Amino acid sequence: MKSLLRNFIRFSYAILTYSLFPFLIFFWILKGIFNNAYLDRMTQRFGFHYPDLRVGSVWIHAVSVGEVQATIPLVNQIKSRYPENDIIITTVTPTGALQVKNIFHDTVHHSYIPFETPFAVKNFFNSIKPCIALIMETEIWPNLYNECGLRKIPLILVSARISLKSLANYKRFLPLFRETLSHGILIAAQSKIDAERFISLGADPNRTWVMGNIKFDFSLPKDTVKQGKILKENSFNNRPIWIAASTHEGEEDIILDAHKEILKNTNNMVLILAPRHPERFQKIKQKLSNDKWEYKSRSDFEKTHHKCEVFLIDTIGELLLFYAASDIAFVGGSLLPIGGHNLLEPASLGLPTISGPYTFNQKEMTNLLEEADALKIINNSRELANKVMTFHSNCSESEVVGERAKAIVENNKGAISGLMRRLDDIFPEKQI
């Protein structure tokens, strides 16, 4: 009976994906009209033109920029232990693809992940020929997971997490997800709560571990701090800098209002503004111009920006460098109910860090930092301005908060080594 039910669920889901296929094509073309990057290698979304790899590749899936960044220590470990195996990283977004190129250059392959039609999925597997699949965080793709099961390809959810909101959504389709998680999947959960939530969806308790978050194993690229200091001195004349990173539409208004207040008290301070999505760069330039801000952007020809009030990062892959040049950090996606973005990078640099109240996508990191009094939560532009000015005027407090954050990062490292030990036990080198 269970087998019949599974087959029915599988068949029904396959019919659904094919029925939605024309709408997906239309949606993606429409998306590409507004952002040409989505048209790049679009055929890969539909099952064609993947890299033709040697048998036994290691497949890592990372949705976008943050997840790609988190793969760095994992990729380095795999390269070291299994140098003969191709590595391919798939992403959903073009910004994720660009991040793969910027970080790994030609040392790994890249492809966009196919849409969930059985045809596209089979073509994808036939081309990349993986012997193991590593999926970052919470990406659940029923047809991809099923194909791993059919081909007996071990699949591990790395740093797996599931929010309370996502759990509720998944439970609406519990039979499908219970069937999806039944294919011998290994779950390396970030926390005990995450592990329990996956088990409630049908994951095998004996194949679900609490492994921690590999993002903590993040290592700063060589000379990052040094290069940040050079940038601050040469391009900004050592002016005090606060950075607002990974911001979304609606947040820039709040941030710029805060900066107006800051400039009334510290007229020498510069705001570095780093929007989350590249397609918004031009719109933000227009806004800065319309609102009469004295601004420069990274793509400007000028190398020095001594007099600008706002500096816009309109490039990809340089956020860490500008964090290193800054004195204070605000992490976006948190002033609106988006869920927040990566707090790890400013914390690892020992920056006093500020966030809005909506951090549900970064709950573990937020809790750790708040408990150590290493993260300040604000709710509006006035509170943001006051906190930036407090950090600016009180260097000792700023330094203490930053050092606490850095200590949190250092004290939580080790997920990668634990994961690799598990992989070595389960998949001996000769199998890979």
Q: Per the domain annotation, does 219 fall within a domain?
A: no
- Same domain for 236 and 181, yes or no, is no
Q: Report the pLDDT value the prediction gives residue 232, as an integer from 0 to 100.
A: 95
- Same domain for 380 and 266, yes or no, is yes
Q: Tell me how many domains the chain contains.
A: 2
* Helix (H) and strand (E) counts in the chain: 18, 14
Domain that holds residue 261: 224-411
Q: Per the domain annotation, does 269 fall within a domain?
A: yes
* Cβ atoms of residues 326 and 272 within 8 Å: yes
- Same domain for 87 and 207, yes or no, is yes
What are the tokens at 77? Answer: 């470990």
As a whole-number percent, the residues of the chain with pLDDT over 70 amount to 94
Sequence-ordered strand ranges (E) for 30-82: 57-61
Find the mean pLDDT for residues 359-388: 93
pLDDT surpasses 90 at 425? no
- Same domain for 422 and 401, yes or no, is no
What are the tokens at 11? Answer: 């068949």
- Same domain for 407 and 418, yes or no, is no
pLDDT surpasses 60 at 322? yes
Find the mean pLDDT for residues 59-64: 91
pTM given for the model: 0.75
- Same domain for 267 and 367, yes or no, is yes
- Same domain for 205 and 351, yes or no, is no
Strand 130-136, strand 57-61: pairing: parallel
Q: Which long-range contacts (CB under 8 A, 24 or more apart) does 392-397 make?
A: 392/240, 392/242, 392/262, 392/266, 392/269, 392/327, 392/328, 397/352
* Cβ atoms of residues 324 and 228 within 8 Å: yes
Other C-beta atoms within 10 Å of 224: how many?
18
Q: What is the CATH number of the domain that holds 105?
A: 3.40.50.11720
Q: Report the pLDDT value the prediction gives residue 7, as an integer from 0 to 100.
A: 67
Q: Per the domain annotation, does 280 fall within a domain?
A: yes
Which residues does residue 376 pair with via DSSP β-bridges, in sequence order? 354
Q: Per the domain annotation, does 180 fall within a domain?
A: yes
Q: Report the pLDDT value the prediction gives residue 430, as an integer from 0 to 100.
A: 45
Catalytic residue numbers read 67
Q: Per the domain annotation, does 24 fall within a domain?
A: no
3-state helix, strand, coil in the chain (%, to 5): 55, 15, 30
Q: Per the domain annotation, does 3 fall within a domain?
A: no
Q: Per the domain annotation, does 9 fall within a domain?
A: no
pLDDT band at residue 5, thresholds of 50, 70 and 90? low
Q: What is the CATH number of the domain that holds 272?
A: 3.40.50.2000
- Same domain for 252 and 377, yes or no, is yes
- Same domain for 201 and 265, yes or no, is no
pLDDT surpasses 60 at 1? no
Q: Per the domain annotation, does 238 fall within a domain?
A: yes
What are the tokens at 94? Answer: 């073009």
pLDDT band at residue 432, thresholds of 50, 70 and 90? very low
* DSSP secondary structure, 127-179, as one string: HH-EEEEEEESS---HHHHHHHHHTT--EEEEEE---HHHHHHHHTTHHHHHH
pLDDT band at residue 3, thresholds of 50, 70 and 90? low
- Same domain for 395 and 418, yes or no, is no
First and final C-alpha spacing in the chain: 36
- Same domain for 174 and 228, yes or no, is no
- Same domain for 136 and 58, yes or no, is yes
CA angle, residues 354, 284, 102, in degrees to nearest 5 = 75
